């Protein structure tokens, strides 16, 4: 069984996106009427999925995707807490519908109604709603709801603890995932995403978060940002900062996905990171949708790169399935309930 | 001949550092007397160099270092423009003295008196002083003088053009190098440095700077941040953004150093980046000073990693010497004048 741990609904129905545009327009011009969330038919949802994620999933030979709202559209920096709550609920409701329409293929991960300066405890209700009512198995946590201004505290700060307590209680992991950037220095998918991945890892290295939360689990996407390429630097920095080795200090709680869009990068990832810490992911129909002229295949067809590795079948199974089931226990339970 | 393109005077004499502390103390308490820059003897400078950089350079078998003030101490975000001008001049004066004491081993690169919100044109005078009067061969350009708040415009913005014009006129490259971070999210050497490298590359990819400045040259240090590891992503993003291929769009003007502190990272760098775009560098006695327990050698002894590559002698010579002489023409001239 092949589980892609990193998929976003980047092809959401146009009326859903139009609602967001109307919401944003009203922020600029409060005299506009409050937008009404549109009726979206099952057929329209089916179409957007069947033509895109489902088609590619089948073509590439994967079975399931852990699916969440489009990350770049979370836009936590836009509007107020109320804006974010409404938009997050709409996005998560839509993911729930996808999961209901394609229960064998998709399982949900939720967007959180984060907002700059708003305590993260305000996101607990939406996490609970999605996990307890919809059967979602995790969440996307934005370490920078300001959208590139980085005005929050590091993830190791006690300000985040109420949310982490709830994650542990519900036994769900979070993928660390920023959204769009409103800082012109940072291209969203080319700089902000990578920087956030690298930054989060270094925060974990600097802190002692996992002493306080031994059962907390994070997926750092996009192959861990710059971290595996600079694995020697991070091992050396742990030493400089008098921290335990990374294996025990960070890597019992942190996982990287395989969203690295060329073979040499995947080769490096598997060379330096323990097989138990790597989850198959593609973020397909995402940041990089083209075909690599040097291979003739989609850049984001990361299964090809993993398939090309000379690792044992047992290790491949870990990366494609078992690690995901371990990191997302609620996914494992759901699969077992179906006899899988 | 082996030239290390990335060295900072991280072991500067204590009185020099004490002056900076006094300068900072006076910013907090203006009633303090204006600090007087101390007399620092040649012997003291010799000692700090001979026991550190020179010793390691010899042990590791390199010949020369392109040497600049300590990057993390530039602190462009501290105080006012005047603070930065005075500190930058002191730092560059000290580099000049090192170069005069060890002319065969060190050649200078200057710190710029950048300050948040101050036009970069105000840094031209110091660049000219260092290049024309001291024989320096380049500069370190900070894309984020705010120290982690990223309040400047991207490097492709016209606000930077007056400085780029001067760089081209003087025929000197800049290493893109941030300084300390005052944003608690970003550890300086573990996050801010990597993020700045990645960010600068993506800015160049997004923009068309090198159409306007075909002769402008930048070194992106620390092996290019996250970029080589994600080379597929960047090739794909260039395609998504309808830019020419990276080879022509960015890589005629951008170079990466070898400050990647483990063998797999160096292997990847050389696998994906053209040999003509890689300059040997170590940033030794820098961010990571320990010994890698898995090898028994210093993490930052990057020459060992390059030596271990199976590349031709001709290509090694490019990385160790010829590329640096091409990117820093004033270094080449200085060496030729000495019959090297």
Q: Do A237 and B153 touch (CB under 8 A)?
A: no
Per-residue pLDDT band for B304 (boundaries 50, 70, 90) equals very high
Q: Which two tokens stand for residue A66?
A: 């852990």
Query: Could you read off the pLDDT of B219-272 as tens digits, one per residue?
Result: 999 999 999 999 999 999 999 999 999 999 999 999 999 999 999 999 999 999
Report the alpha-carbon distance of residue A130 to residue A121 in Å, rounded.
15
Q: Do B198 and A226 touch (CB under 8 A)?
A: yes
Taking CB atoms and an 8 Å cut-off, how many pairs form between chains A and B?
201
Report the alpha-carbon distance of residue B200 to residue A21 in Å, rounded.
31
CA distances from B302 to A30, B4, B104, B281 (A): 58, 10, 21, 7
Question: Using an 8 Å Cβ cutoff, are A51 and A91 in contact?
Answer: no
With 0-12 CB in 10 A as exposed, 13-18 as middle and 19+ as buried, what is B133? exposed
The SS3 call for residue A300 is coil
With 0-12 CB in 10 A as exposed, 13-18 as middle and 19+ as buried, what is A313? exposed
User: A239 contacts in B (CB within 8 Å)?
Assistant: 288, 290
Report the alpha-carbon distance of residue B161 to residue A198 in Å, rounded.
30
Q: Terminal CA-to-CA distance of chain A, rounded, Å?
A: 9
Question: Using an 8 Å Cβ cutoff, are A88 and A113 in contact?
Answer: yes
Element (H, E) at B279: strand B278-279
The SS3 call for residue A133 is helix
The SS3 call for residue B91 is helix
Question: Using an 8 Å Cβ cutoff, are B154 and B207 in contact?
Answer: yes
Closest partner CB to B232 (pick from A186, A228, A299): A299
Chain A residue at shortest CA distance from B268? A264
Q: In what order do the strands lie in the sheet with B3-9?
A: B3-9, B64-69, B106-108
Closest partner CB to A232 (pick from B194, B226, B261): B261
Residue B19's Cα: distance from chain center in Å? 23
The SS3 call for residue B5 is strand
pLDDT at residue A53 in the model: 97
> Among residues B47, B81, B165, B283, which one is catalytic?
B283
On whether any CB of chain B is under 8 Å from the CB of A309, the answer is: no
Q: Do A237 and B198 touch (CB under 8 A)?
A: no
Query: Could you read off the pLDDT of B73-105 as tens digits, one per residue?
Result: 999 999 999 999 999 999 999 999 999 999 999
Taking the CA of residue A146 and the nearest CA in chain B, the distance in Å comes to 12
Q: Do A265 and B229 touch (CB under 8 A)?
A: yes
Residue B255, beta-bridge partner list:
B219
B283 labelled catalytic: yes
pLDDT at residue B114 in the model: 98
With 0-12 CB in 10 A as exposed, 13-18 as middle and 19+ as buried, what is B95? buried
Q: Do B290 and A206 touch (CB under 8 A)?
A: no
Q: Do B229 and A228 touch (CB under 8 A)?
A: yes
Chain A residue at shortest CA distance from B242? A290
On whether any CB of chain B is under 8 Å from the CB of A221, the answer is: no
Element (H, E) at A331: helix A329-337
On whether any CB of chain A is under 8 Å from the CB of B287, the answer is: yes
Chain B residue at shortest CA distance from A187? B202
Q: ipTM more than 0.85?
A: yes
Per-residue pLDDT band for B67 (boundaries 50, 70, 90) equals very high
Report, in angstroms and rounded to the nearest whole number, the Rg of chain B calculated over CA atoms: 19
pLDDT at residue B28 in the model: 97
Report the alpha-carbon distance of residue B282 to residue B93 in Å, rounded.
23
Which residue, among B127, B215, B106, has the nearest Cα to B171 in the 3D structure? B215
Tally of CA atoms within 13 A in the half-sphere of A267 that contains its CB:
16
Report the alpha-carbon distance of residue A16 to residue A20 in Å, rounded.
7
pLDDT in 10s for each residue of chain A, 340 residues: 999 999 999 999 999 999 999 999 999 999 999 999 999 999 999 999 999 999 999 999 999 999 999 999 999 999 999 999 999 999 999 999 999 999 999 999 999 999 999 999 999 999 999 999 999 999 999 999 999 999 999 999 999 999 999 999 999 999 999 999 999 999 999 999 999 999 999 999 999 999 999 999 999 999 999 999 999 999 999 999 999 999 999 999 999 999 999 999 999 999 999 999 999 999 999 999 999 999 999 999 999 999 999 999 999 999 999 999 999 999 999 999 999 9
What residues of A are labeled active site?
283
Q: Do B187 and A195 touch (CB under 8 A)?
A: no
- Rounded mean pLDDT of chain B? 98
Q: List b or e across B136-173, with b for residues whose CB sees 16 or more CB atoms inside 10 angstroms.
A: bbbbbbbbbbbbbbbebebbbeeebeebbebbeebebb
Taking the CA of residue A226 and the nearest CA in chain B, the distance in Å comes to 4
Element (H, E) at B7: strand B3-9
On whether any CB of chain B is under 8 Å from the CB of A288, the answer is: yes
CA distances from B196 to A149, B181, B220, B309 (A): 14, 11, 9, 28
Locate the DSSP E strands across chain A: 3-9, 64-69, 106-108, 110-111, 139-141, 174-176, 218-220, 254-257, 278-279, 291-292, 297-298
Conformational region of residue B75, where left means phi above 0, alpha means psi within -120 to 50, and beta covers everything else: left
Report the alpha-carbon distance of residue B328 to residue B322 in Å, rounded.
10
The SS3 call for residue A201 is helix
Question: Using an 8 Å Cβ cutoff, are B173 and B219 in contact?
Answer: yes
Q: Do B149 and A154 touch (CB under 8 A)?
A: no
Report the alpha-carbon distance of residue B38 to residue B22 in Å, rounded.
11
Taking the CA of residue B33 and the nearest CA in chain A, the distance in Å comes to 35
On whether any CB of chain A is under 8 Å from the CB of B296, the answer is: no
Query: Could you read off the pLDDT of B4-51 as tens digits, one per residue?
Result: 999 999 999 999 999 999 999 999 999 999 999 999 999 999 999 999
Question: Using an 8 Å Cβ cutoff, are B224 and B274 in contact?
Answer: no
Which residue, among B80, B210, B76, B89, has the nearest Cα to B144 in the 3D structure? B76
Q: Which residue has the tokens 């370490």?
A: A143
On whether any CB of chain B is under 8 Å from the CB of A290, the answer is: yes
């Amino acid at each position: 069984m092949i589980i892609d741990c990193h998929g976003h609904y980047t092809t959401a129905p146009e009326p859903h996106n139009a609602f967001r545009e109307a919401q944003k327009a009203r922020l600029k011009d409060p005299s506009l009427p409050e937008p009404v969330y549109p009726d979206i038919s099952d057929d329209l949802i089916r179409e957007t999925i069947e033509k895109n994620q489902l088609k590619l999933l089948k073509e590439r030979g994967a079975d399931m995707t852990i699916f969440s709202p489009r990350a770049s559209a979370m836009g936590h920096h836009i509007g107020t807490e109320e804006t974010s709550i409404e938009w997050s609920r709409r996005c998560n409701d839509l993911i729930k519908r996808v999961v209901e329409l394609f229960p064998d293929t998709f399982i949900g991960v939720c967007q959180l109604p984060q907002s700059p300066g708003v305590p993260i405890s305000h996101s607990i209700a939406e996490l609970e709603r999605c996990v307890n009512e919809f059967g979602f198995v995790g969440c996307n946590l934005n370490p920078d709801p300001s959208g590139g201004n980085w005005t929050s505290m590091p993830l190791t700060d006690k300000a985040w603890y109420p949310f982490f307590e709830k994650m542990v209680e519900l036994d769900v992991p979070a993928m660390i995932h920023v959204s769009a950037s409103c800082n012109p220095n940072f291209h969203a998918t080319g700089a902000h995403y990578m920087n956030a991945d690298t930054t989060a890892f270094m925060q974990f290295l600097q802190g002692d978060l996992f002493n306080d939360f031994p059962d907390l689990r994070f997926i750092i996407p996009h192959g861990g940002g710059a971290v595996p390429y600079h694995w020697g630097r991070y091992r050396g920095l742990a030493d400089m900062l008098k921290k335990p080795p990374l294996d025990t200090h960070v890597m019992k709680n942190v996982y990287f996905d395989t969203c690295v869009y060329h073979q040499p990068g995947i080769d490096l990832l598997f060379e330096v990171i323990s097989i138990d810490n790597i989850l198959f992911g593609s973020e397909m129909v995402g940041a990089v949708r083209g075909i690599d002229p040097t291979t003739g295949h989609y850049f984001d067809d990361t299964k090809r790169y993993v398939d090309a590795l000379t690792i044992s079948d047992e290790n491949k199974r870990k990366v494609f399935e078992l690690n995901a089931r371990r990191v997302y226990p609620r996914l494992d339970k759901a699969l077992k309930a179906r006899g899988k």
